[in-house]
Chain A
């Protein structure tokens, strides 16, 4: 291992940052059904690993190892890959199996929490705010979202560095905290989603109830008196049950709603 020792020292902060950015750019852009994100990992790490593994044979072995199946939330992968680089720096090519075991062992748990936070809760909260403002022609929400993404971009570069310096210990400890964090984010998410139903789902009954001289607009005089946003609430429940029953695909449900709207428009039941 004499040749691995000096290699350890010439990996700079800049190399680590470059590896982070290279991986972040490629992430899912070479995604395939066989080894999923693995090519992106190789693309991201190949420059820094070349500095670590001076011998061509070691370098090939290391990269072939990273060509193995890899898939997790790309934001979280930065932590794992940072720690992997640290392991290879410390033990050279002998760390190969440990790196592989570490990556496959951690990618599942991190994806579970990471996908919920990054791909479900974050877009839900920001999407609700930006989408609602958008309906009024206002881009403010979208601008805030864009700015937050830029903040997270730098945060993720930092995550790679954190993984590299603090390594395995931290990542295992993070698990518990992240679970509570996810629950808390769900609480915020559900409050927003509850508010969204009356705010964005709109149905206006055009029919009027007529007896003799009196005309009674059904929407404003009957439905709204029972409960505001009664129809959107009912529609949400129906679609929720439909999706849950798995009898109709999502695409079919979308086309069903469009068909329903067209029929109601034709007979003047619903208005714009």
Chain B
């Protein structure tokens, strides 16, 4: 059973980078990866707490334009595996996942850069095959690309699966309580990094009102996030319809493709 779980976790690590860079269905976002890892490990609640912590840290971390970012999905995956293998207590699990996951996730940056460098050779080889008229060979060469990227996450996961829980078990015996408590506290503070980073990209100054409204409703009234998201959607919808009516040029241009745009509203 443990072997099967280990194999599935490594396979998920291999798949998640391919999906994030391709189909974008299971993605490598911590929440979804954490849920799948939770099902594999047979402990969804613990996995979701760990995944939630990393998900909130990862907010605002977008790998756009070919930039390399810490791989929080990888951090979540190895964090969950090692934590569930070593402890049954949720607070401890969070601390362990953070201690194992953060460094591995950071390592993800270097591995991603390496993968992109190696893929230059794949591109060259494929184009060479094309010009030699070997079209089938060209097609086969392309598959090396996803293989490289899959390995950039599967290899570190494999190492954590083999050695991670043994090392952590030994460490837990010698590490004092204030230290694991401290990591748990850090886990509750770290979402701030994702939030603050996100605010750099967003028009905060222009729409400070919305930020404050969200804060007040959450802090003073304690409304759940989903409810506040619906409220935010209400504001956004009002803005969108008003703006579309007041810019006739855009409205006219838009008439032709209402059906296309309509789908995106489901979000």
On A, residues with C-beta under 8 Å from B are 24-36, 38-40, 42-43, 46, 50, 56, 59-60, 63-64, 67, 71, 73-75, 111, 115-116, 119-120, 122-139, 141-143, 145-146, 148-153, 155, 159, 162, 166, 170, 173-174, 176-177, 180-181, 183-203, 227-229, 232-233, 235-236, 239-240, 242-244, 250-251, 253-254, 257-258, 260-266, 270-272
Question: Which residue of chain B is the closest to A125 with respect to CB atoms?
Answer: B229
Complex A-B, nearest 7 residue pairs according to Cβ-Cβ distance, in ascending order: A194-B214, A134-B52, A191-B232, A30-B145, A265-B182, A137-B45, A131-B55
Kindly list chain B residues whose C-beta atoms are within 8 Å of the C-beta of A232. 192
Assess whether A28 is in contact with B22, with CB atoms less than 8 Å apart.
yes
Number of interface residues of B (CB under 8 A): 125
18 residue pairs A–B, Cβ–Cβ below 8 Å: A25-B23, A26-B22, A31-B119, A42-B126, A42-B130, A64-B127, A120-B62, A139-B35, A141-B31, A185-B236, A187-B232, A187-B239, A193-B195, A196-B195, A235-B189, A236-B195, A243-B196, A254-B57
Other-chain residue from B29, B126, B217, B237 in contact with A184 (beta carbon distance below 8 A): B237
Known: A43-B139, A142-B51. A254 touches B193 (CB 8 A): yes
Known: A261-B182, A264-B182. A239 touches B193 (CB 8 A): yes
Max chain B Cβ within 10 angstroms of own Cβ: one of A26, A180, A186, A195: A195
Assess whether B23 is in contact with A173, with CB atoms less than 8 Å apart.
no
Known: A39-B123, A180-B250. A199 touches B131 (CB 8 A): no
Kindly list chain A residues whose C-beta atoms are within 8 Å of the C-beta of B233. 188
Q: Shortest Cβ distance from B218 into chain A, in angstroms? A: 4
Q: Shortest Cβ distance from B121 into chain A, in angstroms? A: 8
Assess whether B189 is in contact with A180, with CB atoms less than 8 Å apart.
no
Assess whether A32 is in contact with B123, with CB atoms less than 8 Å apart.
yes
On B, residues with C-beta under 8 Å from A are 18, 21-27, 29-32, 34-35, 38, 44-46, 48-49, 51-53, 55-60, 62-66, 70, 90-91, 98, 102, 106, 115-120, 122-123, 126-127, 130-131, 133, 135, 138-139, 142, 145-146, 149, 178-179, 181-186, 188-193, 195-204, 207, 210-220, 223-226, 228-229, 231-233, 235-237, 239-240, 243-244, 247, 249-250, 253-254, 256-257, 260-261, 263-264, 266-267
Q: Shortest Cβ distance from B217 into chain A, in angstroms? A: 6
Kindly list chain B residues whose C-beta atoms are within 8 Å of the C-beta of A124. 59-60, 198
Assess whether B116 is in contact with A31, with CB atoms less than 8 Å apart.
yes
Kindly list chain A residues whose C-beta atoms are within 8 Å of the C-beta of B193. 239, 250, 253-254, 257
Known: A32-B117, A191-B232, A196-B56. A27 touches B31 (CB 8 A): no
Question: Which residue of chain A is the closest to B216 with respect to CB atoms?
Answer: A194
| 10 new A-B contacts at CB < 8 Å, known A31-B21, A131-B51, A191-B214 | A28-B21, A30-B119, A42-B142, A123-B59, A131-B52, A131-B53, A137-B90, A173-B256, A195-B228, A257-B193
Other-chain residue from B44, B115, B213, B243 in contact with A180 (beta carbon distance below 8 A): B243
Assess whether A64 is in contact with B130, with CB atoms less than 8 Å apart.
yes
Question: Which residue of chain B is the closest to A173 with respect to CB atoms?
Answer: B253
Question: Which residue of chain B is the closest to A42 with respect to CB atoms?
Answer: B126
Question: Which residue of chain B is the closest to A187 with respect to CB atoms?
Answer: B236
Q: Shortest Cβ distance from A268 into chain B, in angstroms? A: 8
Assess whether B25 is in contact with A193, with CB atoms less than 8 Å apart.
no
Q: Is the interface of A mostly helix, strand, loop or mixed?
A: helix
Assess whether B65 is in contact with A115, with CB atoms less than 8 Å apart.
yes
Report the Cα distance A266→B180, complex, angstroms: 10
Known: A127-B29, A181-B240. A153 touches B23 (CB 8 A): yes
Q: Shortest Cβ distance from B139 into chain A, in angstroms? A: 7
Assess whether A30 is in contact with B186, with CB atoms less than 8 Å apart.
no
Q: Shortest Cβ distance from A105 into chain B, in angstroms? A: 17
Kindly list chain B residues whose C-beta atoms are within 8 Å of the C-beta of A128. 56, 59, 225, 229
Max chain A Cβ within 10 angstroms of own Cβ: one of B199, B232, B235: B232
Assess whether A29 is in contact with B229, with CB atoms less than 8 Å apart.
no
Q: Shortest Cβ distance from A198 into chain B, in angstroms? A: 4
Assess whether B235 is in contact with A235, with CB atoms less than 8 Å apart.
no
Kindly list chain B residues whose C-beta atoms are within 8 Å of the C-beta of A235. 189, 192
Q: Shortest Cβ distance from B71 into chain A, in angstroms? A: 13
Kindly list chain B residues whose C-beta atoms are within 8 Å of the C-beta of A271. 181, 185
Other-chain residue from A36, A180, A261, A263 in contact with B247 (beta carbon distance below 8 A): A180
Other-chain residue from B123, B183, B229 in contact with A191 (beta carbon distance below 8 A): B229
Other-chain residue from A126, A153, A166, A180 in contact with B240 (beta carbon distance below 8 A): A180
Assess whether B29 is in contact with A177, with CB atoms less than 8 Å apart.
no
Q: Shortest Cβ distance from A191 into chain B, in angstroms? A: 3
